[in-house]
Homo-oligomer: A and B are copies of this chain.
Amino acid sequence: MNCNTTKTMTETAASRARVAVGPDVEIVGITPAWGVASAEGWYDSFISAAAVLQTLETLPTDIDGVVMAGFGEHGREGARELLSIPVVDITEAAAHLAMPLGRRYGVVTTVRRAVGQIEDSLTTAGLIDRCAAIEDTGLGVLELDKDAFATAEAFVAAGQRAIARGAEVICLGCAGMAGLEEHVRDRLPVPVIDGVAAAAALVETLIRQGLSTSKIDSFATPLAKLRSWSA
């Protein structure tokens, strides 16, 4: 489930997810019909969250689990209330795979304004304790594809700053970076993790183990009430 309306990013993320799961798993990329071309900051993120949740209301019934493919974006807990299938966010997934690999992990993201938002997302997921640094490249989400070389350069520089602050593993801090790990892994002395691949594998694992969202208390099914999606 892409968090923005840019279909090429949906395709990129879906293709990375396909590599991460078993041959018997079908990945369907979904793009919200409205929202933001890219999510950069809380304002975009809250618009994105609503668009994503409305999209998930009509999720095909044969879907067994959902990857929320927005790094640091909102909506995660709402999707858990709405759905009875597993929901994994790429922000938390990257941390879940990073933590067994090194003492502390770092995140390299896009623009400065995303840093605090990612920090909030990791904090509310209970995963901030071992996050050594969240560094930005200064590149906007839609700039990442413009110049693959410059993007890799900026990523490596930010990754080195995170390592200097104690990171022993680096997470790609944007769904739009999926695939970039292949170009930077040989240039950084630590493992580099793609949250999209991580989340796809975690959803597959939860499904195989017959596990899904706890429906007591926090993520119980939403109460019936009047809701409207536009004026």
Contact = CB atoms under 8 A, between A and B. Distances in A.
A44 interface: yes
Nearest to A55: B231
Nearest to A230: B230
A230 B35 CA distance: 7
B124 A127 contact: no
Contact of A213 (B102, B116, B189): B102
A81 B169 contact: no
Interface in A55-80: 74-75, 77-80
B5 A82 contact: no
A102 B214 contact: yes
Contact of A101 (B198, B206, B227): B206
B209 A198 contact: yes
Interface stretch (A86-94, A149-157, A172-180): A86-94
This chain: how many copies in the complex?
6
Contacts of A201: 205, 208-209
A154 B190 CA distance: 28
Contacts of A22: 22
26 contacts: A37-B225, A40-B225, A43-B81, A43-B222, A46-B74, A46-B75, A47-B50, A77-B117, A86-B101, A92-B100, A93-B100, A96-B96, A97-B205, A102-B213, A102-B216, A103-B218, A103-B219, A111-B223, A115-B217, A115-B218, A116-B217, A125-B130, A126-B130, A128-B129, A191-B211, A229-B230
Given A47-B227, A229-B230, 18 more contacts: A36-B225, A38-B225, A42-B80, A43-B81, A44-B227, A89-B100, A100-B213, A101-B213, A102-B213, A112-B217, A113-B219, A115-B218, A124-B124, A128-B129, A189-B216, A191-B212, A193-B209, A198-B205
